[in-house]
Structure 1
């Protein structure tokens, strides 16, 4: 808690205590990086599996039953690994987002267009998920960066991240549909190759998400340092 200034000091009342964000930001960044690394591994497996199907179609004797069985197992496990990495990444990002939103409400109590439950529900409710999360992040960005700055912050990195995220989500959904509907080996090979495109776009969105996490986290830490200058103490951040 901030120590209250003496009555005669003339200081304004201290703000509510801020929540530390460095740890959850690190968690989010590590999860995003791991998701990218796993994405590369899964993309390699996708291409390998598609190539094996091509060999199988070229000649039935070119792929043994044992090799086909191992390929099916590895391909299936890679899909599970990709899903688990994505879930961890989502959880880490949302934990960070909830934390910086809580601080942003202290920085700018009336500067948020959506109530706090929409920090989560905005991602899962159909239709509004196309713009509610972007509004939430925009408001957090503005609340976290405007104090002590002469001009409004540039949101180019957020715009780029959101565009990449929407495109990646659309392509990932299409790739999932192709895989689910694949009945012939040729269709399965095509779905595997298309999944590589989805992974590439997701990695671009993840890299931009890392930039967003870092910029907002650094902005909030800067505000904490400004509070330290004014009040002389602050919670561990």
Structure 2
């Protein structure tokens, strides 16, 4: 993807990544995005869940949501997603950092009116949280579908920014007797807790028992 004036990474540009496969990989691993927009002159940033189908991002919620009502007006928005991979501990306070993978998306969201696309978007939301979950649960009723607003944003103006590797200290500081390195971070789960009203004969699905968020295999030079 060619960067635009909005997606071009200017601060530490060597960390910029515009390959769609890399952007998709980050989107598919993360769980929450932050939607930034201006409503009545007031800047607002709202965290929300999302799903991806091909080259489109989907968000959903109640038609009464101020965010979704605002976004229906063809408002320009900025969506951000961040995965934190590690704390970068340098020999100096100045060079402490974090290893991360992030995506920034610009565009205007539109309302999904096609019933089939709306159905596929809701499936994407569900399976994004837990793979194959849609096939295990009751699908939405017609009333639930009517009460859910789905918006879509094309992934045509997006970029990623990635930092990997050890701290980058000033050359003179490498002689300091201070521990330096990376403290890796990872999203993990504990044992599933059954609903108190769940019948004992219902076993834990494999996708939940062995749940994990996919760790990226992005191979890049240290940035």
TM-score bucket of the superposed structures, by smaller chain: under 0.3
More helix by share: 1
TM (normalized to structure 2)?
A: 0.23
More strand by share: 2
Larger Rg: 1
Between the two structures, name the one with larger relative contact order (CA 8 Å, sep ≥ 6): 1
